[in-house]
Amino acid sequence: MIDNGLLVQMLIGALLGVSVYLPLAAGQLSLATPAFYAVGGTLAALLSTTWPALGAGADGSFPLASFLLELLLGGLLAGALALLVGRLVLRLQGIYLAIATIALVEIVRVAILNLPFTGGAIGIFGIPQPFPTAAGYLLPALGLLALAGWVCQRLEVMPLGRAMAAIRNDELAARCMGIDTTRVKLTAFVLSAVLAGSTGALAAHFLNTWNARQGSFDTAVTMLAFVILGGSRSWLGPVLGGLLLTALPELLRPVGDVRLVLFGLVILLGPSVFPQGLITPGLLERLGRLGERAEREPQT
Amino acid sequence: MIETLLQTLLNGAASGGVYALVALGYTLVFSVLGVINFALGALFSLGGYLTYLLMGGAISANGGLPGWGLPFGLPFPLPLLVLITSLGAGLVLVNLLQMLMGAEGYAFPATALAGLPDAVVLGGARIRSVQVLLLAVCAAAVIALTLWLERSRSGRALKAVAEDATTARLLGINSDAMLRLAFLLSGALAGLGGGLIGVSISLPGPYVGIGYGLKGLAVLVLGGLGSVPGAIAGGLLMGLAEALVPGEASGWRDALAFAILFAVLLLRPTGLLGRRLVEKV
């Protein structure tokens, strides 16, 4: 039921969930992830199909080094864009920020749809493949997720992560404590964009075709649902949410047309059943205590 | 030249009127609950389809139906959860529509206007009567809503809840009932918009409302969150601005609303007619 292709999609979902989680960990509700995802994907699609120096083969093959370079470039371009946009939009708070980032997503979507070199409504297709099968993508996707998880885990003990948590709890108080809130929020925003950009580059190769629909308002909604249903207090929440909610519509395929309605119902009812998400702070605490006990036991 | 301009302006005002309806729908809920009801775009689609299905040959306000029976007013402590829930509700609605009606578009029958001429020629400008009708219905809805809010007991009660829910409750106003009423009216406005767009253009599919929902969001910010006159002025302004985009750049027209939104958010976050919110400590 779950084949390698779906597994890669689930990992991509988890990566995007973490990307939405990062600004949220600093208390900023940003829905800009699809815009950066689209930017990264478009860059990878354009480079690999039009720049011969990257070494795309006539048989649709693609060197691994060029693929990794694209992941890097996709992340960097998205990060640069986030740096530029973030300075402007992060002055906004709450719902204003959410609306501004939705506007960004729509502007990027219309731009990709109308720019002369991005293939219009059809998009770019025949993107060369660095791996012969879907299974090949598992490793880079897992690697990216491990890297993102490691960064998030490190953040919890780093001054930056602490500052993010402080802003989330009370921005004004954080500012009074001498935290440069603008800088911290911008860093979280850029980190989120870099992750989304790299994920986009990976997804473009994996999907083989790329168009403006990849980053739309709908995607933003789904990604936010990853975080809310998974739990927004730890990076494990969006990972779990991304994995489950990406798999759900596919697993529901046997029920036919009702599946998307059911998927909507999960998003509709999820918050009332799990107001804190699946991975709650209480659960994390219990897991943490289990971990401590496991560490102590060998010595006794 | 002047004829084309007149035509363009009328087109702009007509779509602007619909934007204003959607923005008013957001405004009603936002002013009492402080959240954005993201299901509004889906309700817009639903209104269009209901109007199509119930159309008995004459324009009716059947689009107003979807406000009823919505599972809203659920007590959620966190605005973020309300946001997700409303998005989920929208997703369910749109996919239900797709399941029941299919993804194909629907054009309204020619008898939709019940004997009205298709277009009138006014001083050389060809004016589609449906546009005039659309503008008239929007204007009527907006005027009725404003009068109700300003003059009637229940309208004033709604405004009181928007001002301060706790005080309103202390004064004997049933805040929860007002909240449900706001949701209902909000859905009705969006549904009406969907019906009007369906009659004047056609329904290209269940996702028709999503685009209008997003534009309505842009208008909401343009006019100022929670401001009724702002939503109306913002809607008209947005419609006119879009209509003035030259034909060669029509692909970029959809980005205009969001570019304006972006600019407004950065230059004047309170919107054109919004109130300045002072952060309380």
Q: What pLDDT is attached to residue B43? A: 86
Q: How sure is the predictor about B69, in pLDDT bands with cuts at 50, 70 and 90?
A: very low
- pLDDT of B68 above 70: no
Of the candidates B178, B157, B217, B211, the one whose C-alpha atom is nearest the C-alpha of residue B26 is B217
DSSP-assigned letter for residue B205: -
Q: Residues B77-120: pLDDT tens digits?
A: 456 677 777 888 888 888 888 888 877 888 777 666 666 666 77
Q: What is the mean pLDDT of residues A3-25?
A: 92
Is B64 among the domain residues? yes
In a domain? residue B203: yes
Domain ranges within chain A, ordered by starting residue: 4-216
Q: Residue B63 has what pLDDT?
A: 43
> What global pTM score does this model have?
0.87
Report if residue B249 sits inside a domain: no
| Residue of B26, B31, B92 to mutate, interface with A, max A Cβ within 10 Å | B92
pLDDT in tens, A219-275: 888 888 888 888 888 899 999 999 998 898 888 888 777 888 888 888 878 877 887
Q: Quick one: pLDDT at residue A199?
A: 95
From residue A131, give the alpha-carbon distance in Å to each of A72, A124, A127, A140, A244.
Answer: 18, 19, 12, 11, 25
Look at residues B96, B188, B28, B72 and name the one whose alpha carbon lies nearest to residue A257. Answer: B96
pLDDT tens for each residue of B47-65? 888 878 776 433 444 444 4
Residue B49 inside a domain? The answer is yes
Residue with more model confidence, B235 or B75: B235
pLDDT of residue B182: 84
User: pLDDT tens, A202-218?
Assistant: 999 999 889 888 888 88
Find the CB nearest B99 among A99, A261, A265. A261
- Letter string b/e over residues B19-30, b meaning 16 or more CB atoms within 10 A of that residue's CB: bbbbbbbbbbbb
For residue B267, give the 3-state DSSP assignment.
helix
* pLDDT bracket for residue B1 (50, 70, 90): low
Q: What residues make up the domain containing B198?
A: 20-210
Q: Mean pLDDT across chain B, nearest whole number? A: 79
- Neighboring chain A residues of B40 at a CB cutoff of 8 Å: none
CA distance B241 to B19: 12
Q: Please, which residues have CB within 8 angstroms of residue A282's CB and are 6 or more apart in sequence?
A: none
Per-residue pLDDT, B55: 64
CA B39/CA B93 separation, integer angstroms = 8
Separation CA A109–CA A222 (nearest Å):
16
Q: B49, B160 in Cβ contact below 8 A?
A: no
Please tell me which residue, A168 or A256, carries the higher pLDDT value. A168
With a cut of 50, say whether residue A174 has pLDDT above it: yes
CB contact under 8 A, A95 and B254: no
- CB-closest option in B38, B92, B266 to A261: B92
Structural domain contains residue B261? no
The pLDDT tens digits of the residues spanning A273-296 come to 887 788 887 787 887 787 777 777
Predicted confidence at residue B79, as pLDDT, reads 63
CB-based burial of residue A3 (10 Å sphere; 0-12 exposed, 13-18 middle, 19+ buried)?
Answer: exposed
Answer yes or no: are the C-beta atoms of B67 and B184 closer than 8 Å: yes
What pLDDT was estimated at residue A147? 95
ipTM of model:
0.81
| pLDDT digits 0-9 by tens, B75-84 | 444 566 777 7
For residue A135, what are the β-bridge partners? none
pLDDT, position B124: 66
pLDDT above 80: residue B270: no
Q: Which two tokens stand for residue A271?
A: 């918050």
Q: What is the mean pLDDT of residues A90-112?
A: 87
Asked whether the beta carbons of residue A107 and residue B255 sit closer than 8 angstroms, the reply is: yes
Q: Taking residues B66-82, what's their average pLDDT?
A: 51
CB-based contact A228 B74, cutoff 8 Å: no
If you ran DSSP here, which 8-state letter would residue B104 be given?
S
Does position A133 have pLDDT exceeding 70, yes or no? Answer: yes
Site from B22, B38, B86, B95 to mutate, A interface, most A CB atoms within 10 angstroms: B95
Residue B118 inside a domain? The answer is yes
Provide the pLDDT for residue B194: 86
Average pLDDT of chain A is 87
**Interchain proximity A100–B38, CB inside 8 Å:** no
**Residue with more model confidence, A17 or B7:** A17
Assess if residue B163 is contained within a domain.
yes
Percent of chain A with pLDDT over 70: 97
How much is the pLDDT for B249? 77
Is the predicted pLDDT of residue A5 greater than 80, yes or no?
Answer: yes
For residues A144 and A199, is the Cβ–Cβ distance under 8 A? yes
> How many angstroms separate the CA of residue A61 from the nearest CA in chain B?
34
* Phi and psi torsions of B203, nearest 5°: -105, 110
Count of structural domains within chain B: 1
Which one has a higher pLDDT value, A79 or A282? Answer: A79
Is A224 touching B (CB cutoff 8 A)? yes
E runs forming strands in chain A: 124-125, 209-210
Smallest Cβ distance to A110: which of B35, B84, B252? B252
Give the mean model confidence (pLDDT) for residues A40-57. 84
| pLDDT band at residue A36 under the 50/70/90 scheme | very high
